[in-house]
Structure formats: C-alpha cells, structure tokens
Amino acid sequence: MRPQVVAHRGASHEQAEHTLGAYTAALDAGAEALECDVRLTADGHLVCVHDRDLRRTASTRGIVSTMNLADLDDLDFASWKNPWADLDDEAPEVDASLGKVLTLRSLLETVRDYDHRVELAIETKHPVRYGGLVERRLVETLADFGWAGADSPARVMSFSWSALQRVERLAPELDVVMLIEKAHHWPMLRRVIGEDWKVGPGVEELREHPGLARRLVASKRDLHVWTVNNAADLELCLELGASAVISDRPAYMLELLGGSEDTATGV
C-alpha cells in the first residue's frame, strides 16, 4: 500500500505553519493526517508552535513557555509568511482568525468534526521548561476526546526517547514514533526503543546515508519519513516501503501518488 500523506504543520509550503488556515488547506487538499508540534504555555495550554521563541512566526522575542494563552492570542502568526499582502489590492480578504495561535484542543476539534477520519501526528518538543508535564497534558487532552486508546487517530512523536517512554506509561495503546535526526543515533536507539515503536528518519539522512536506510528497512519497523517535498524524495520513500511521508506540500505529494484515498494506510 502507498504511504499515508501527512501535512507537516499543515499545508505549510503555501500557508503559515501551525495556523488553522494551514490545516484547513491541508484537509481541503485531501491530506490523510496532520502533523503538529506542541508546547505548553505558562497557564497550562498546549499550543501548536514549533520554536521555543516567537521571533520567526510572530515577530516577538516572547518565549512560549513564559506566556499565557491570552497573550499569545493577541499575536499574528500568519503575516510573516506573506509580509507584502497588505500592498496587494487584489489579494482576497483573509479571516484573521485563521492566522491566530492554534491550541491543540482546537485542532483536535477540527479533526473530530471533519467528515471522515483524519489522523494526527503530534510531536512533543524537548528539552523544555515543563519536562514531562507536556506528555501528561497531551495524554489528558487526547483522553478528553476518547483518543488515548488503541483506536486513536493520534500518534505521538518525539526526538526524546524519555518523552516517548512517558507516553507509553501513560497510554500504553497509543502509537509512538521515535524521530531520528542523525544516522549515527540509530545503533544506540535500536537497542532501547520499544518493540512496537515506529521510527521517523529525516529524508536527508536517508539520502546521505544509504546504510541507515538499509538498516531501518531490515528492522521491519514502520517508517514515517520527514520532510518529503519533492518527487525524488518521494520515490526514495516508496523504494523503502515507508508507511507515511510527512510533507509541507501534501497536495503535491497526493498528485504524485495519484490522488487521495478514502482510507489511509494503517500507521
């Protein structure tokens, strides 16, 4: 079966990442899963933000973990993507709410209310100020939706082995994905990760280190590859039998694969 197409931070090639606008565009394009990063605010809310500070995406030096949700809600998370939009008289009017900070709960509600099953790949960032509280709040939030068990549409990803261990203790039936940033990390990781854990290598490491690709295939684990944005990288993923491709360009990936499917692959 072909890999599941996962929208990396939404349709983030065209839209500002981690905004409702980016995720809505990904769903409209037929993405079968949505990827997001989560961080915990000072008042305990999980928000979809990649960087620890907001200089890149909201033009402020604020640190997510030191700010309350209300403070974040006052910021514009979309204008950086197209800073000249105000000068284009022919640009369509955009709903400002689509470019506000997005809470994980709001994203889960969007997925829950969609007209067919969409999966979620949720990455926890580490090291962070609140440590293991991030995974605890994440599992609690998933449980509020009835999504902390075996049939959950959500899976949890991290570069932190300890973080995924926490998830496994809190919600043993949730799927977890051990992200791999460097090829030389795999020999150590393969000895300590759970038997059922999936692995998420970066496509650049797979290209530059064919030995890593061979060893991962030999491990017979599901491969969730990031960030796959062009035809050559997609072809490599197909050759390796990847279960999921995580892409900034979900519409393009679906086009290359021949269109979306009503039923995503089992990942």
**Helix/strand/coil percent split, the chain, to 5:** 40, 20, 40
Q: Are strands 33-40 and 119-124 parallel, antiparallel or unpaired?
A: parallel
- Give the position of tokens 């949720």: 122
Q: Which residues are catalytic?
A: 8, 50
Closest CA to 206 of 220, 187, 225: 225
Question: What totals of helices (H) and strands (E) does the chain contain, helices first?
Answer: 11, 9
On whether the CB atoms of residues 231 and 256 are closer than 8 A, the answer is yes
What does DSSP say about strands 119-124 and 175-180: parallel, antiparallel, or unpaired? unpaired
Q: Say which residue the tokens 């692959």 belong to.
A: 265
35 near 100, Cβ under 8 Å? no
Sign of CA dihedral 53, 55, 58, 62: positive
Among the listed residues 250, 231, 229, the one whose alpha carbon sits nearest the alpha carbon of residue 239: 231
User: Strand 154-158 relative to strand 224-226: parallel, antiparallel, unpaired?
Assistant: unpaired
Tokens of 63: 């640190």
C-alpha 52/C-alpha 63 separation (Å) is 6
DSSP summary character for residue 65: G
